[in-house]
Structure formats: C-alpha cells, structure tokens
Amino acid sequence: MKSGSGGGNIIKYASEIYVEHLPLILLFSISFIIAFLIPAFASFPTYNDIGAIFLRLASILTNLNPLTTAIITFSTLLSLLFLSFAIVAINVIVKHSRTHTRIRKEVMDGLEKYTSKVFVVLLIYTIIVVFLDVIAFTMGFSEAYSAIITIIFLPFFFYAPASIVVDEKGLVRAMQQSLSFFFKRLDYVLLWFVVGIILLSVFDFIFIGIGGTTLSRYLILIFNSLFIMPFLVLLQSQAYMSRFPMLKR
C-alpha cells in the first residue's frame, strides 16, 4: 500500500473535514432526513430499523393499483432527488476542502451542476435492483437473492457520485471509474462498511437504551441522517480523492 494512502489516513482526513465544515454539512443533511422520511409518510409499506427505512416488497405487489403506483413512483423520485442533493453537496465540500478552493461559491455552483447526474445514477440503480427483486419475488427465490443483486451491481455505482463531482465525468464514465476503483481499493470499501456497521450498531444500541424501541427508531433515523450518513458519504468521497497523490499530506 502506498504511503499516506492507508485507511487510518482516510478516516483522519474525513474526520477533519467533517469537523471543519460541520454547520454546512448539517444544513445539507436535512435533505437526508427528508429523503428517508418520504417513503414512511407516503403510504409505503415500510418498517424502520437501525436508523433506516426498509420496504416490504411483498406488501407493495399485493396491494398495487394505479393510485399506489403513482404515489410510490412520485415519492421515490422525490426521495432520490433529495438524496442526490445531499450526496452532491457533501462531495463538493470534500473536493474543495482538499483542493483548498473557496467553498461557498463552488458549493452553490456544483449543486446545480451535478445533482441531476447523481439523481440519474441513483435512479438507474434503484430501477435495476427493484426490477430484479420483483422477478426474484414472483419466481419464489429467497431474500438472499436481493442481497446478491445489490452486491453484483454495487461496484458500478458505489463511487459514481464521487466521480461525477470530483472528476466531472459523465454517467457512463463515472460508473466505469467506480467499477475500476472499487476493485482496485477493496480495502477502502471494506473500511467503509466496517465503519458504517460500527457506527450504526453503537448508536442504535444507545438510542434504544435512551428512548425505548419505538421512539428510538425515529430518533436514530434523524441522528443517522444528520451525522452518520453524511460522514459515510464524506468518507467515501475522501477515499476516492486518495487517487490523487498530490492531495496526500
């Protein structure tokens, strides 16, 4: 492994940027709260666990009609739009923090420029996963099939938002870059998942102890949206930025 490119340094740089720009990150992270709450309040058959909203696919297929289809489609698009906005904003913060350029003007310019592309990336991934999940469900495959689908397509999309913002790539090229860097630095991917699992598990346990199971599920959802999810996006972006040796301190 190259000097200065270890997982410890990635976490260190991500933490420094997180603390330095915390007020701005919190402002943009409100979009995460909106994105995750939209399905819960749009008549979706959802459940809340470890600070995230999950969809009951079987319930949707059983009760699907033109009205619920329209509601689900509109709500999903709106949720992805807010999600894209937040992801782009945090990636722009990382990009301009590491390149030491003025962040206020660049953030505003970058949000409008990149959000639509990231939205399309998330929409494509959502369509692929949901479509294949529906096929698996109708054919009677186990739930493990959904996890396999996610893993198979994840490398094409994992770093695509970062590539769009950092490298200013188009959709196809961003997915190619994501695929390449995903397998080139699997240690960063593993680090991201380990950090995510630890943070989610620890704070989920804390909030259950504080507020009880029902209340804690929504408290941790808000907490994750404001603090954990932004840090994970920031960590992901920082890992991608490590491709540039000149930015390594």
Domain boundaries, the chain: 7-241
At 177-199, the pLDDT tens digits run: 999 999 999 999 999 999 999 99
Closest listed residue to residue 44, CA positions, set 77, 80, 68: 68
The pLDDT, as a whole number, for residue 39 is 62
- C-alpha distances out from residue 146 to 49, 84, 142, 178, Å: 18, 23, 8, 21
The pLDDT, as a whole number, for residue 120 is 94
At 56-104, the pLDDT tens digits run: 555 555 666 677 667 777 877 888 899 899 999 999 888 877 766 665 6
d(CA 144, CA 5): 34
CA atoms within 13 Å, Cβ hemisphere of 115: 20
Q: Which residues of the chain have pLDDT under 70?
A: 1-5, 39-65, 68-69, 99-110, 142-143, 211-215, 245-249
